[in-house]
Amino acid sequence: SHPTVTLNNGITIPQVGFGTFKIPADDTQRAVESAIGSGYRHIDTAAGYYNEAGVGAAVRASSVAREDLFVTTKLRNGDQGYESTLTAFENSRVALGLDYVDLYLIHWPYPSEGLYVETWRAFEKLYADGVVRAIGVSNFLPEHLTTLLESADVVPAVNQIEVHPTFQQRSLASDSRAAGITVEAYSPLGRGEDLESDVVVAIAEAHGVTAAQTVLRWHVQNGHIIIPKSTDPERIASNLDLFGFELSAQEMADITGLETGQRLGSDPATAAFTQYR
């Protein structure tokens, strides 16, 4: 079986998960069934992806036991606030058709609205009620983590952020880890853009693997939790086939050297209400 990481409350999460951002609702059940069939045991979705129903249908149709699968979903920006969070969680749970969710994340801090601390109190209630096995955040910058930790009873288990060779956020990742918060890397392939790098292509050729496997192996050797996304069954399978080769220290350093500081996704400090709402 594949490696897992232990979160700050003792539960384990498979290190390689299946991402579903931008997978259309109608394609999602098929893609997630393909992922589970290839051996993925960790699926990442969000209310704002509008594909939770397909994720849940695939999980429920699977012959893999529910307790052997790890399902993450996220709260949309427009649902922040205490009561609205409780309602939104119930809507997600019903859309998924699951009794519980393994990990529930605040999707964006959305600081202009000023509701993420109040929202976190609702997350703590859901956690205490046992309908989520762990709670965390996504796209939180250091100032948002600091504000949250000042009043939180439960330290977030996870901060899910954009991390890939050309945008690694090493300082934010180490700040998160120092607070006991595990980092999950989204867009681990840089939305496919990091696969064009000559450095990556040369290392892939040297190992007889694909550029995607090379970048994902770099994440694995760095200890990152990753959620690569694909709708292609062969890519879905190969993106989990990362444990038969090893990058040298020099190859790791060469990929780390691809940092540009250029974010591909939204800036969490300003991410607009209209996104993922």
Q: Is 231 in the site for ligand A2P (CB under 6 A)?
A: yes
Select 95 or 195, whichever has its Cβ closest to ligand A2P: 195
- Look up residue 73 and give its two tokens: 């979903």
68 binds ligand A2P (CB under 6 A): no
Stretch that binds ligand A2P, among 105-113, 124-132, 170-178, 184-192 (CB under 6 A): 184-192
Check residue 246 for interaction with ligand A2P (CB under 6 A).
no
For the question of residue 40 being annotated catalytic, the response is: no
- The span of 7-15, 136-144, 151-159, 233-241 binding ligand A2P (CB under 6 A) equals 233-241
In this structure, are residues 169 and 260 in contact, taking their beta carbons and an 8 Å threshold? no
User: Would you call 243 helix, strand, or coil by DSSP?
Assistant: coil
Work out whether 37 is an interface residue with ligand A2P (CB under 6 A): no
Binding residues among 16-35 for ligand A2P as defined by CB under 6 A: 19
Binding residues for ligand A2P, total number by CB under 6 A: 18
DSSP string, 74-132: EE-GGG-SHHHHHHHHHHHHHHHT-S-EEEEEES---TTT--HHHHHHHHHHHHHHTSE
> Is 190 one of the binding residues for ligand A2P (CB under 6 A)?
yes
| Annotated binding-site residue? 224 | no
x/- binding map, residues 152-171, to ligand A2P, per CB under 6 A? --------------------
Binding residue for ligand A2P, selected from 78, 111, 192, 233, defined by CB under 6 A: 192
d(CA 182, CA 174): 10
For residue 247 the two structure tokens come to: 């990058």
Give least dist CB 10 to ligand A2P, A.
Answer: 28
Alpha helices, H only, the chain: 25-38, 52-61, 82-96, 116-129, 142-151, 170-178, 198-207, 211-221, 233-238, 249-256
264 phi and psi, to 5 degrees?
A: -95, -35
From the list 49, 110, 186, 276, the catalytic residue is: 49
Residues recorded for the chain: 277
By CB under 6 A, residue 188 contacts ligand A2P: yes
Question: What is the H or E stretch that residue 185 is in?
Answer: strand 182-186
| 125 binds ligand A2P, rule: CB under 6 A | no
For residue 36, state whether it binds ligand A2P (rule: CB under 6 A).
no
Q: For strand 158-162 and strand 132-138, is the pairing parallel, antiparallel, or unpaired?
A: parallel
Positions marked active-site: 49
Q: Contact positions toward ligand A2P, by CB under 6 A?
A: 19, 187-192, 195, 210, 212, 228-232, 235, 238-239
